[in-house]
Amino acid sequence: MDLQGIRGEVIGRPSEFFQRADSMGYCPIHSACSLCLLGPGNSSIATEIVRMMSSAGADVSVADSNGNTPLHWAARAGDKSTAQFLLLKAAPRDAKNDRGETPLHWALRAGRRGMTVAQVLLENGAKPAVWSKDFKRPIELAADGFGDEENSVTELKKLVAQRKRLSKDQRQLLKETMEERKETRANLLRLSAQSRTLILHHSECLQHIPKSAGDWENPDRVRSILEKIRGGDIHENEITVSSEFERAKLDLLSRIHSTEYLNFVNELSKDLERQHRELHGDDEHAEEPDRKAPVVPFTPMVSSFRAGTMFY
């Protein structure tokens, strides 16, 4: 490709030229940002063309007929270099298209191809928890592909939802995509700690004295859940398990519970401490594990109405 010739064409035309969409609704800069879809080796050419267009007045935030910006297209194409240039030119990193999807949504949709762009976007402050109009975050679209692609996972999922029969090749494609989906999700979770599921538990939960073996607050049950989480098939970056958090202050508790309830729990606590002192007095062994005051599991009643049934 003759870049010098392109340079002359670009610089010699007014900026309005670059805002003119073709019959498909794409401006020249959208086409330039998607060049890597024809081959990853086109990245340097694409970046240079976009740079020349920008110098000549092209708008790096212009939207196509579906609301996609140049950064959306660079993300879809997996073009890290062009994405970096667009961000340097203050391209909107969280711009939403007509479906409410940001460039990060598109980087995740692109699967392995979009992983490097996902990293660039996150490093430049892109929000990983933006909801699309279908109430999907970027991570939930990992390796789903795009609706205008033949046999994209997005389209295959629609067929499955419609109970349509898939061909053998289509079923195999869905199966193969699962690994790519895992890699794409892991890439985002590694880069974005806030996208992980945070599981909080307190060591006192393991001191509860259960009423029965089936008690949901049984310490053995809690240990089993934690072991499953830490040693199971869940990716190491999927979750963060922590017991490092402060006890809730009274003003926070009062937002949820009534004054009467808080007074009741406070009096119950004092009564248990009094009984413990009466039982052990000033016994020097009172702090030994089997002499410590038992932790009483006391969970507020929570009601929820579903199909006319109340759950506690």
pLDDT for the residue 54: 93
At the top level of CATH, the class of 3-195 is: mainly alpha
pLDDT for the residue 21: 81
Tell me the per-residue pLDDT of 211-238, one tens digit each, with 9 for 90 and over: 777 776 778 888 888 888 777 666 667 8
Tell me the per-residue pLDDT of 136-145, one tens digit each, with 9 for 90 and over: 999 999 999 9
Q: pLDDT confidence of 161, banded at 50, 70, 90?
A: confident
User: Comparing 106 with 154, which gets the higher pLDDT?
Assistant: 106
pLDDT for the residue 16: 67
Beta partners for residue 197, in sequence order: 239
pLDDT for the residue 125: 95
pLDDT for the residue 302: 43
Q: pLDDT confidence of 311, banded at 50, 70, 90?
A: very low
CA distance 130 to 103: 11
Tell me the per-residue pLDDT of 230-289, one tens digit each, with 9 for 90 and over: 776 666 678 888 888 887 888 888 888 888 888 888 888 888 788 878 877 665 555 555
The CA–CA distances, whole Å, from 169 to 86, 112, 154 equal 38, 20, 15
Contact partners, residue 165, CB within 8 Å, separation at least 6: none
SS3 letters across the chain: CCHHHHHHHHHCCCHHHHHCCCCCCCCHHHHHHCHHHCCHHHHHHHHHHHHHHHHCCCCCCCCCCCCCCHHHHHHHHCCHHHHHHHHHCCCCCCCCCCCCCCHHHHHHHCHHHHHHHHHHHHHCCCCCCCCCCCCCCHHHHCCCCCCCCCCCHHHHHHHHHCCCCCCHHHHHHHHHHHHHHHHHHHHHHHHCHHHCEEEECCHHHHHECCCCCCCCCCHHHHHHHHHHHHHCCCCCCCEEEECCCCCCCHHHHHHHCCHHHHHHHHHHHHHHHHHHHHHHCCCCCCCCCCCCCCECCCCCCCCCEECCEECC
pLDDT for the residue 13: 53
The mean per-residue pLDDT over the stretch 290-301 comes to 55
What residue spans define the domains of the chain? Answer: 3-195, 200-242, 250-310
Residue count of the chain: 312
pLDDT for the residue 305: 43
pLDDT for the residue 114: 97
Q: In the predicted model, what is the mean pLDDT of the chain?
A: 82
Q: pLDDT confidence of 8, banded at 50, 70, 90?
A: low
The closest of 187, 38, 39, 49 to 108, measured between CA atoms, is 187
309 pLDDT higher than 90: no
pLDDT for the residue 275: 81
The mean per-residue pLDDT over the stretch 72-79 comes to 98
Please tell me the least confidently modeled range out of 49-63, 150-164, 178-192, 273-287. 273-287
Q: pLDDT confidence of 208, banded at 50, 70, 90?
A: confident
